[in-house]
Structure formats: C-alpha cells, structure tokens
Structure 1
Amino acid sequence: MTPITEVEGRRLPLSNLDKVLYPATGTTKGELLHYYAITAGVLLPHLHLRPVSFLRYPDGPDGQLFFTKNPPPGTPDWVMTAPVPRSDDPSARQVVIQDLPSLMWAANLVVEFHTPQWRSDAPAVADRLVFDLDPGSPATVVECCRVALRLRERLAEDGLVAYVKTSGAKGLHLLVPLVPTPSEEVSAYARRLAVEAEAELPSLVVHRMAKKLRPGKVFVDHSQNAAAKTTATPYTLRARRTPAVSTPVTWEEVEACTDPGQLVFLLEDVAPRVGMYGDLLAPLFDTRGAGSLP
C-alpha cells in the first residue's frame, strides 16, 4: 500500500520510499524526499514563478531518463501551471512549483528541476544571466574555477556581480542578477563575453559546443540564456552516479579549489552548508543588486 502523507493540508501518496535510487551510496527515495523537505526553504524561492522542466529518473541515474516540459499525467489540480506557448504547441503549459506540497509531489516523481532565466509573469524577459562552465576531459572543475574567476572580473568591469554554484555534474554555473532585460539581448551579451574569454585564454576556453574542440578546455556555454533554454535549479539533486546537488559555493572556495573533490556536495552536505552560510544565492532576489547590461 502506498503511504499517504499530509503536507500543509494536501494529501500526497509517496511511493517506494525504500527503493534505492543511487546504488553507489545506497541512497533511497525516502532520503531524497527528506532532502527536499529540509531544503525547501532555500529551494522554493529559486522555483518561484519559474516554469519547471523535469528530467525524470524514476529508477535512478542508471535507469531510463526522460526530459519533459509538459505537466506529467496525473498532475493534481492544485499544482500551479502557467502558459508557456511553444511553436509546436501554442497552448502549452508548464508546472510552477510554488509551495511545499507541490515540491514534494514533484520530488516523488524523482526529478531534476530545470528552470529558465525568466519568470512566468514576464516570459522571455530575463532577470538573470547564466554561464554554464563545462570541462572537457582531462580538464576538471579546477580549470572551471580559473575561468569563473576571470569571468567574474570581466562582468565586474561592466558593473555586474556574479555568484557561483556547482552544476552538480562536472562544472560550475555563474549567475548574475539583472534588471529585467529581453532574453535576446542577454544571450547576445553572454555570447560576446564567451568569445572574448576564448580570445584571451585560447588554451583554456572554448565558446563553441563542438566536442572536437573541447578536450582539455572549458566550454563556456552561453546558450542557456536563450528564452527556450533552462538551467539546473540551485539545490536540485542530479541524476548522477552519486546524489550530487547543484550547490551554491563561495568565491573563496572557488579560489582555493585544487582538486575536483573539493567542490562535490552530496545531499547530506547541503543542510549543514545552509546552516553555515544561509542561501549564498539569496542576493539574486534583491533587485537593488541587479545590474544592467552595458
């Protein structure tokens, strides 16, 4: 029998709590749900009013993975959705996670959370810029840190303040709060900085996605600023070998990184970090710190 749990007045069936999702660590679905429950306070603000895309991995990262933008079958009527018209479906809607019951309902599906750089009340108008730094082997997150520090300096030259988190995979994400700006303009600016970074650091940086260009370099992916693209949400678990989390980090940690393991955080690491630092990405919500593109 599937247990029913009440969350803030909503009745939720939470299934297969003993199922091992991450064999490398023995992490169960129940532990995944517990993680989202205790980190909801810092995760929910990053989901607020942002249409969610789900990467589902119900049988763990070694099972079938599938990406969906549409509300999954059986989505409760109390889960908020918002119109997100697409060329292939002008009437498309996506889930918007606004509260703890909605978060726990989604977590029970076993998903990664991915969100755009804009909110549902202002489609295609970005309130943040993102760079996804992805290392090509044998480069690692250590090389990503070098690139992140240079991009931070370059953004500061334009009056923009960058914050950083791990991707939860191999690299880093830089996030910059912006005065609301059309996504097309943000995309063009981000591409320009990526091209500049490659010109300045040609042995370390590549701005194009072609795999043949990437071994030993850091791909500065600027494309996730496009209105149709999404980025792994802060604090989401990832469908990786271990239960790694996309975790905010300090610039001091980036500067001090000499080994990839220093910037790997699993689900049990996050609550203590939040207790120590709070949400390191909270400045993204302070409109007083938002910058304007030059």
Structure 2
Amino acid sequence: MSPITLVEGRRLALTNLDKVLYPATGTTKAEVVHYYATTADALLAHLHDRPVSFLRYPDGPDGEKFFTKNVPPGTPAWVRTTEVPSSTATSRRQVLLQDMASLMWAANLVVELHTPQWTADRPRVADRLVLDLDPGAPATIVECCAAALWLRERLKADGLVAYAKTSGSKGLHILAAIEPTPSANVTAYAKSIAIEAERTFPDRIVHKMTKALRPGKVFIDFSQNAAAKTTATPYTLRARPLPTVSTPVTWQEVADCTDPRELDFRHDQAAARYERDGDLLRPLLDTGDAGPLPPGHR
C-alpha cells in the first residue's frame, strides 16, 4: 500500500518512496520529494502561471526518460491546466503547478520541471530573457562564468539587470526580467547579443549550435527565448548521474569560480543555500525591475 499524505486538503498517494533514484549517491525518491517540499516556496514562485513541461525519469537518470508537454494521463482533476496555443492548427493543454499539493503530485512522478519565458495569460509574450551558456569540452562552467560576467555588463548597458543560476548540468543560465515583449523579438535581441559576444571573443564564444564549432568554447544558446522553447526552472532537480539542481548563484560566486566543483550543487546543498540565503532570483519576480528591450526589439 502506498502511503496517503494529506497536502493542503488534497489526498496524495506517494509511491515507491524507498526506491533509489540516484545510485551514485543512494538518493531515494523520498529524499527527492522532501527536497521539492523544502524548496516549494521558491519553486512555486518561479512556476506560477507558467505552463510546465516535464522530463520524467521514474527509474532514475539511468532509466528511460521522456519529455512531455501534454497533461500526463491520470492527472488529478484538481491539478490546474491551461490551454496553450500550438504551432499546429490545434492547441494543447499543459499543467500549471500553482500550489504545494500540485507540486508534490509532480514530484511523485519524478520529473525535471521546464517552463517557457512567458505566462499562461500572455502566451508568446515573454517577461523574461534567458541566455543558456553551454561549455564544449574541455571548456567547463569556469569558462561560462567568464562569458557571463561580460554578458552581465552588456545587458546592463541596455538597462537590463542580469541574474545567474547553474543549469544543474554543465553550464550557466543568465536571466533578466523584461517588460512584456513578443517572444520573437526577444529571441532576435538575444541572438544579437550572442553574436556580439562571439565577435568580441571569437576564440572563446560561439553562437551557433553546430557541434564542430563548440569544442573548447562556450555556446550561447539564445533560442530558449523562442515561444515554443523551455528552460529548466530554478531549483528543479536534474536527471543527471548525481542529484544536481539548477541553483541560483551570486555574481561574486560567478566571478570567483576557478573550479567546476565550486558551482556544482546537489539537492541537499541547494536546499541549505535556500534556507540560508533565501531565493537569490526573487528580484526576477518583481515587475518593477523589468526593463524594456532596446528600440528595434520591443
């Protein structure tokens, strides 16, 4: 029998809690669910009103993984969903994780959480800019940090305040709150910044995804600003060999990074950081800090 837990008045069956999901660390499903409960306040703030896509890995990162935007079969009726426009003739429904009960239901599925840069009430109109810095070996997150510092100043020159988080994988995400802007315009602006960065540091940065161009360089992926794309949500666990988390970091930590291990955070470390420092990305949720894109991109 699966234990029945009451969360905000909702009855949840939490299954296989003793199952080891991350063999390298012995991390169990119970620990994964507990992590999501511990960081729920921050997670729910960043998930609020954003249609969620799931990367499910019910047997751990070494098992089958599948990505879905559609509402999973068996989703309880009380989990909120929203209709999302599609590039095809038909729209689809996606989940909205708006409360603790819904988040715990999702955690029980064993998921990475991914969200777009827009909210359900304004599809395809972004309120957030993202630049995904992905290192090509032998480059690491250390090289991403050097690129991130330049990008921070470049965005600042355009009146945008940048924040950073680890991807939870190998790289770094740079985020900025922006005034509502069509996703296509944001993508064009982000691409222009990536191209400028490559022209400034041609031996260190590349803006094209072509794998042959990327060894030893930092790929600046601007495409995640496109309306149909998503990015790992702050504080989500990742389906990696270790239970790493997409973790907010300070700019001082970015500037001081000389070893990839310094910005590699597992679930327990991310939870402890949140308890100690609060949500370092909280300013992204303050619409008063959102800046307009430069003329020609609005």
In the superposition, the TM-score normalised over structure 2's length comes to 0.98
Verify the 8 A CA contact 2:85 2:123 in the aligned structure 1.
no
Q: Which residue of 2 aligns with 1:203?
A: 203
Measured in 2, the distance between the counterparts of 1:37 and 1:106 equals: 11
Give aligned-pair identity as a percent.
Answer: 69
Whole-Å separation in 2 of the counterparts to 1:98 and 1:198: 39
- 2:196 equivalent to 1:180: no
d(CA) in 1 for partners of 2:88 and 2:55? 20
SS in 2 for 1:156: helix
1:12 aligned partner: 12
Q: Secondary structure at the match of 1:164?
A: strand
- State the match for 2:61 in structure 1: 61
Asked if residue 99 in structure 1 is aligned to residue 99 in structure 2, the reply is yes
CA distance in 1 between counterparts of 2:271 and 2:24 reads: 21
Give yes or no for the alignment of 1:239 onto 2:239.
Answer: yes
Gaps of 5+ in 1: none
Shift of 1:86: 1.4
The aligned length equals 294
Contact 2:48–2:97 (Cα < 8 Å) also in 1: yes
Equivalent position of 2:130 in the other structure:
130
Match of 2:152 in 1: 152
Query: Is the 2:44–2:97 contact (alpha carbons within 8 Å) kept by the matching residues of 1?
Result: yes
Q: 3-state DSSP class of the match of 1:63? A: coil
Aligned to 1:227: 227
| Partner SS state of residue 15, structure 1 | coil
Which residue pairs with 1:108 in the alignment?
108
CA distance, structure 2, for counterparts of residue 95 and residue 89 of structure 1: 20
**Which amino acid in the other structure matches residue 170 of structure 2?**
K
Rounded to whole Å, the distance in 2 between the matches of 1:211 and 1:89 is: 33
Paired residues of 2:142 and 2:260 also in contact (CA < 8 A): yes
Q: Is the 8 A contact 2:144 2:172 kept in 1?
A: yes
Q: Distance in 1 between matches of 2:38 and 2:89?
A: 36
The CA distance in 1 between the partners of 2:68 and 2:169, in whole Å, is 20
For residues 88 and 207 of structure 1, the distance between their equivalents in structure 2, rounded to whole angstroms, comes to: 28
1:41, 1:193 → 2: CA distance?
33
Query: Offset at 1:276?
Result: 2.1
Cα deviation, 1:212-232, whole Å, max 9, x if unaligned, reads 000000000000000000000
Cα-to-partner distance string for 1:237-292 (whole Å, 9 max, x where unaligned): 00001000000000000000000000001010122211221100000111111010
- Give the partner amino acid of 2:124: A
Q: Which residue of 2 aligns with 1:285?
A: 285
2: CA distance between counterparts of 1:217 and 1:101?
A: 42
Residue 191 of structure 2 is matched in structure 1 by: 191
Partner of residue 32, structure 1: 32
- What is the one-letter code of the residue matched to 2:220? V
Structure 2, unpaired ranges of 5+: none
The answer to whether the aligner puts 1:21 opposite 2:3 as a matched pair is no
SS of aligned partner of 2:12:
strand
Cross-structure match for 1:215? 215
Output the CA distance in 2 between the equivalents of 1:272 and 1:59.
26
Separation of aligned partners in 1, 2:127 and 2:85: 19
Name the amino acid aligned to 2:115: T
**What is the aligned-residue RMSD (CA, Å)?**
0.7
Give, as a single letter, the amino acid of the residue that structure 2 aligns with 1:167.
Answer: S
Q: How far 1:89 moved relative to its partner?
A: 5.8
Distance in 2 (alpha carbons) for counterparts of 1:61 and 1:112: 11
Q: Distance in 1 between matches of 2:124 and 2:215?
A: 33
